[in-house]
Structure 1
Amino acid sequence: MNAVRAARIDLVLQRPVLLGGGVISLVVLLLASGGITTLAVVPILLAVGVPVALAARDPLAEATLRGGLGVSRAAHVRARTALVLVLQLLLLLVAAAVIPLGAWADGADLRPDTYWTDVALWTSAVLWSHLWVGRDAMSRRSTTTLWAQSLGAYALAYVGGFLVLALAGWCARLTVSGAGGIEAYALAQTVGVSLGAAVLLLGALATLRLRSRVWARTA
């Protein structure tokens, strides 16, 4: 019940952020239906900023409110982490929908292998940025420094993820050793990159799960 109560409090306190994110997502989807696929960057950046956007505007007042309602700090941390994760995944789902929607509107072809690799790369980078600023965002106000840290963490995670995928593809091509020609190399590249993307995504989710437990225990 403590966790449920904490989640309800967060939903009430964060109602403006939730409504704002929903309106922006709807506008992006409507514009994407006109063939504007570059708008996928908007929900991605919103997802990066979710932990900071949900930071307490008045930490002392919110802590007093939770204490008066019998909500522990640990329950608050668990509820806030879950809310951030859900919002990030919903926004990334919007970003993932923008590209095929825009391609369909434009009559353009969409390469499934490249598309899903990009989605995994965005998602893992967003989750790693959450890991970087998530704990600070629960105990501090939303500040320019926190926003900069979240964007910087996303950029570093994206570049690092891209290098991991490039290395995975290169290693997979080495296993072919010239046998089978271009088609074998292309298949090896696809398999290697797909495995690298799975490692990035599952690794980010597993690490976030472990770290969120530490945040709750040390709250």
Structure 2
Amino acid sequence: MGEKVYELKKIKKKGKGMPLIGDKFPKMEVQTTHGMMKLPKAFKGKWFVLFSHPGDFTPVCTTEFVAFQLRYELFHELNCELIGLSVDQVFAHLKWIEWIAENFDVDIEFPIIADTGKVADLLGLIHPNKGTNTVRAVFIIDPQGIIRAMLYYPQELGRNIDEILRMLEGFQTADEKEVAIPANWPCNEIIGKGLIIPPAADVETAIKRPEKYKCFDWWLCYRNYYKW
């Protein structure tokens, strides 16, 4: 038997709302510029970033796609794939990325979902007052298929792709080293590239913390960043 794929109409009938942080990314089969793909199965064992855009041949979206592509190798270094989405036909996506290549000499290598509106509706990407245009959103999904972050932007504001890369590195560092990531990491104003140690769960651990870590108080300890 093949893998069970969610039927989007049935999901709505069962009354399930849009997925949230910490939920499993819903299984689905989608049409893309790279052919039919099953998500999240297509990226098994990898992180992936799914990002929606309001429409092809639009100014802000064009700058975003160029920015994503120029950092594509940086995403790969973090074991992460990219996939775009909008409610447009495949031929429109193909003509748009062809235009980008001709005008900016940038070849878009990642797939783009040609959605009929069902995926966007399931993921909460359609603003009720904006017709069929998808909102500018980002989903970061880990190798276990768990949604780790959801970001939403207004139509007039393009995404900061470097911040998405920072989040990916932060998630991976936090998972690997069992730490928390401070503000503006790796350039935090207090501890620089340091990593925050989770608060002690008991008195004995709290007392011993300063012997092993740098601490401002028992509840705010950190360690230096290093790879092993």
Verify same fold: TM over 0.5. no
More contact order relative to length (CA 8 Å, sep ≥ 6): 1
Larger relative helix fraction: 1
